[in-house]
Structure 1
């Protein structure tokens, strides 16, 4: 079964796509990763999206327009993927998260926009979307959903392993055999990108190759203020997003800092915040390997900082496990699509905190009848990814 997975993450900079051809052999699911691509949002659309995100006020009219415009961009990316990578049986669209509602350490709701009907109309393929909410209805956080891939991919790792995704938010899955738990650690690139974009420090809106951070010095006073965030002391499962870690959050922290902080020092300090919070939780997990994906894996200041802070842990990119660093989340959503199509849960309760595993998503039919494979009685034991 050939499935196209698509997502725009918490960095809200564009759409990642991956076509994966799945075949089940015995209890092993083999996934051959074919076409992959990342399509940036047009600058005007990205600016409108950023302006509408909490805590900024917005209108239902703006949400409606963004839902359509983002859905059309996903449709463009899907059509390009099918044209280049060949026809697919199913498309899974995560869409764009615009709000993740958490109260009292419990997720109450989540909203992803990017109307999937545009994708189905453009490609003729059925589309699975709205994949997080079913887990929330079962008491979970709806995140991190990539934990289902991590469990299948890393379950055989001796001594346990942790999979770390460094997107806008950092999340980690700790895997030991059949057991796993997962949660959002805190900001990975969210605050760094907010400062780089807001202060015009780089035309692409992020700290490319960590150059700005490398040119600055960590401000220990500001770092202490940032590390005092109550979220870090919550017990997993837990989830967070830009509802908490937004540009105003940085300004509030700066207001609590006695001395002024220059731009490069601010970026260096926010980068060190990512290193410190991640390293603390990895040490607490007691694993021997850390498998890293997401945009932050391309930042040498973060990666060198993690290796220095975790001398007893092998830190490696997810590419070494068959999941390209920049494409892992898109591959994970393709996997969720395969599971849903076969009537299998796309969550692991330890990964999201739900009371039980759930089959995920809402299906939008394509051009023809909706035809699904025969349901499977049992999930695969492991996943092997190849190119």
Structure 2
């Protein structure tokens, strides 16, 4: 099968597009990445995404228009690809509803019927909802990929392996030698630094390129201490979070309460990089993993990666690129794998109370013909 995975992360940098060729043999799913690209959001649409995710009030007409405009943008991204058998669209996350420490709902927009019409093939969307309905957190879905990819290696070596994905929010997956996977969101990834840079540049820049702003500043001890007191960090795992807890307002509220001179933007950026590295390193320490593989946009921030390696020592920290997996496209690879499991009728398990088949199916213009369900797939082979 040729599968296209579409998604836009919490940073809303653009639509990430990954096309893979997939084949099943016995209990092994083999996936070969074919093309990877990012389609930038039209600036006005990106502004509307960020304003909605930050809590701006929208009426029903505005929500309808946003869902449709997002669906049209995802559809155009899929239309650029040929000979697709399946599109897996995570959509654009606008909200992840946490009530009393647990997920109650989640909202990813981008009308899938528009994508199916453009791509001419079925679409699987709404990948998190079934897990939440069954009492899970709906995240981190990366646990599904890592169980198939790394469990055989963890069993062979007799030690746990952790992966970290640093997107807008950072998450950790811990693959145990017995095949169990523990997974949770560690807290902010790039979201807070991105928000600072976006506001500082008045929208001309969306992230701290090469960690330059953070590198030019110094960690502000009082600001760091107050941010580390955020209640999310003391909650037990498994847990999940989002922009509703870690946004520009989160930092503003703490900065406004500081005594003395307001820190510079460079010092705030350095402090936010330290906060992210500290929160991930704390999760690594609790995981007991022998090594950590890192993916996501945060891999390209040398300040963040250096501090993570220092704080996580003696556990070794490395990019997934060392294992032949592009750190930028790994999240899309995960969505492709989740979609393929659903296509073959195989339920997934994140780190919750139940296994469920993920997603909703939207037929292609020619209809929907699912294959016979398979009993299971236990191994993932990622081909060069």
Q: Which bin holds the TM-score, normalised by the shorter protein?
A: over 0.9
C-alpha distance in 2, partners of 1:56/1:221? 30
Could you tell me how far apart the structure 2 residues matched to 1:59 and 1:185 are? 33
Whole-angstrom distance in 1 between the partners of 2:291 and 2:26: 28
| Displacement of 1:369 | 2.5
Contact 1:323–1:331 (8 Å) recurs in 2 = no
- Is it true that 1:340 corresponds to 2:342 in the alignment? yes
How do 1:15-30 residues align onto structure 2 when only pairs under 5 Å count?
A: 15-30=15-30
What does the per-residue CA deviation read over 1:285-343, in whole Å, with 9 as the maximum and x for residues that have no partner? 11111111110011111111111112222211122333211111111111111101110
The equivalent of 2:97 in structure 1 is 101
SS in 2 for 1:66: helix
Whole-angstrom distance in 2 between the partners of 1:175 and 1:374:
30
Distance in 2 (CA, whole Å) between partners of 1:134 and 1:311 is 37
SS of match in other structure, 1:352: coil
Contact in 2 for aligned 1:112/1:130 (Cα 8 Å): yes
Show the counterpart of 2:366.
Answer: 368
- CA separation of 1:352/1:59 partners in 2, compared to 1, >3 Å: closer, same or farther? farther
Shift, 1:201, TM fit: 7.3
Which whole-Å CA distance do the structure 2 matches of 1:323 and 1:88 have between them? Answer: 22
Are the aligned partners of 1:18 and 1:34 in contact in 2 as well (CA < 8 Å)? yes
CA contact (8 A) 1:145 1:352 kept: no
Indicate conservation of the 8 Å contact 2:128/2:138, yes or no. Answer: yes
Quick check: 2:5–2:19 contact (8 Å CA) kept in 1? yes
Separation (CA, whole Å) in 2 of partners of 1:266 and 1:314? 27
How far off its partner does 1:57 sit?
2.0
Quote how far apart the aligned CAs of 1:60 are. 2.0
For the 8 Å contact 1:169–1:184, the answer to whether it is kept is yes
With normalisation by structure 2, the TM-score equals 0.96
Structure 2 residue 210 is matched with structure 1 residue 209: yes
User: Aligned equivalents of 2:331 and 2:288: distance in 1?
Assistant: 24
- Give structure 2 stretches of 5+ with no counterpart: none
Alpha-carbon contact 1:225-1:256 (below 8 Å) kept: no
Structure 1 match to 2:53: 53
SS at match of 2:35: strand
String of CA shifts for 1:50-86, please: whole Å, max 9, x gaps: 1222333222222111111111110111112x1xxx4
Encode CA deviations 1:194-231: one digit per residue, 9 max, x unaligned.
11111217832110010000000000100000000111
Following the alignment from structure 2 to structure 1, what is the Cα–Cα distance between the partners of residues 290 and 202?
A: 37
Structure 1 unaligned runs (5+)?
none
- The alignment status of 1:352 with 2:351, answered yes or no, reads yes
**Counterpart Cα distance in 1 of 2:120 and 2:365:** 4
Corresponding position of 2:88: 92
TM-score by length of 1: 0.95
Match of 1:254 in 2: 255
Maintained 8 Å contact 2:84/2:119: no
Residue equivalent to 2:189: 188
State how far apart, in whole Å, the 2-side matches of 1:143 and 1:218 are.
31
Report the equivalent of 2:142: 146
Aligned-partner Cα distance in 1 for 2:324–2:4:
17
Moved more, 301-310 or 268-277: 301-310
Q: Does 1:125 align with 2:121?
A: yes
